[in-house]
Amino acid sequence: MARRSSLILRHLIRASQTSPNPSLGLGFPESRRSVTYMPRPGDGAPRPVTLLPGDGIGPLVTGAVQQVMDAMHAPVYFETYEVHGDMTSVPPEVIESIRRNKVCLKGGLATPVGGGVSSLNVQLRKELDLYASLVNCFNLPGLPTRHENVDIVVIRENTEGEYSGLEHEVVPGVVESLKVITKFCSERIAKYAFEYAYLNNRKKVTAVHKANIMKLADGLFLESCREVATKYPGIKYNEIIVDNCCMQLVSKPEQFDVMVTPNLYGNLVANTAAGIAGGTGVMPGGNVGADHAIFEQGASAGNVGNEKILEQKKANPVALLLSSAMMLRHLQFPSFADRLETAVKRVILEGKYRTKDLGGSSTTQEVTDAVIAQLD
The model's pLDDT over 79-135, given as tens digits with 9 standing for 90+, comes to 999 999 888 899 999 999 999 999 999 998 887 776 555 788 889 999 999 999 999
- Give the whole-angstrom CA distance, residue 372 versus residue 361: 19
pTM: predicted TM-score of the whole model, two decimal places: 0.87
**Which of the 8 DSSP states describes residue 40?**
P
3-class SS at 196? helix
- Give the whole-angstrom CA distance, residue 256 versus residue 249: 8
Cα distance between the two ends of the chain: 51
Stated as kind and residue range, the H or E segment containing 296 is: strand 293-297
**Residue 283 vs residues 141, 297, 313: alpha-carbon distances, Å:** 14, 7, 20
- Give the whole-angstrom CA distance, residue 153 versus residue 140: 15
- Give the whole-angstrom CA distance, residue 152 versus residue 131: 19
pLDDT digits (tens, 9 = 90+) for 295-342: 999 887 556 767 888 889 999 999 999 999 999 999 999 999 999 999
* pLDDT above 80 (res 13): no
Contacts of 284 (CB under 8 A, 6+ apart): 135, 136, 295, 297, 298, 319, 320, 322, 323, 325, 326
Radius of gyration (C-alpha) of the chain in whole angstroms: 23
**Which of the 8 DSSP states describes residue 105?**
E
Q: Which of 293, 194, 271 is nearest to 234 (CA)?
A: 194
- Give the whole-angstrom CA distance, residue 218 versus residue 80: 40
> What does pLDDT average to over the chain?
89
pLDDT digits (tens, 9 = 90+) for 153-179: 999 999 999 887 788 889 999 999 999
3-class SS at 177? strand
